[in-house]
Chain A
Amino acid sequence: MKLTKISLVAALIIAVAFTSCKPKDADVQAKIEAAIKADASMAGTTVSVKDGVATLSGECKDDACKANCEKAVAAIKGVKSVVNNCTVTPPVAAPATLTTVLDAATMQKVKDGLKDLKGITLDFAGDKAVLSGSVTKADRMKIMQMLMSAHVKSDVTKLLDK
Chain B
Amino acid sequence: MAVQDKYAELLQAAKDLGVSNLSVAEQAGVLHVAGTAASTTSYDALWAIYDKLDPGMASGDLMLNIDIKADAGAQLQVTTDATNLNIRSTPSTDGDVVGKAAHGEIVTLVEKTDDSWWKVKTADGEEGYAYAQYLSPM
Contacts and interface: CB of A to CB of B under 8 A. Distances in A.
B60 A155 contact: yes
B57 A149 contact: no
The CB with the most chain A CB atoms within 10 A, among B27, B47, B64, B133, is that of B133
A115 B50 CA distance: 24
A148 B65 contact: yes
A41 interface: no
Contact of A113 (B22, B25, B133): B133
B7 to A, nearest CB: 13
Nearest to B133: A146
B60 A161 contact: no
B69 interface: no
Given A94-B25, A150-B115, A150-B116, A115 B93 contact: yes
A78 to B, nearest CB: 36
B34 interface: yes
A100 B25 CA distance: 14
A116 B56 contact: no
B58 A98 contact: no
Interface residues of A, number: 33
A10 B51 CA distance: 75
Contact of A95 (B34, B60, B117): B34
Interface string A136-161: 00001110111011110111110101
B24 interface: yes
Contacts of A108: 92-94
Given A151-B115, A159-B58, A141 B51 contact: yes
B67 interface: yes
A153 B60 CA distance: 7
A151 B65 contact: yes
Interface in B37-77: 47, 50-51, 56-58, 60, 63-65, 67
The CB with the most chain A CB atoms within 10 A, among B32, B50, B116, is that of B116
Contact of B116 (A94, A98, A113, A157): A113
* The 9 nearest A-B residue pairs measured at CB: A95-B34, A94-B25, A93-B23, A95-B23, A149-B115, A112-B93, A109-B116, A95-B32, A144-B57
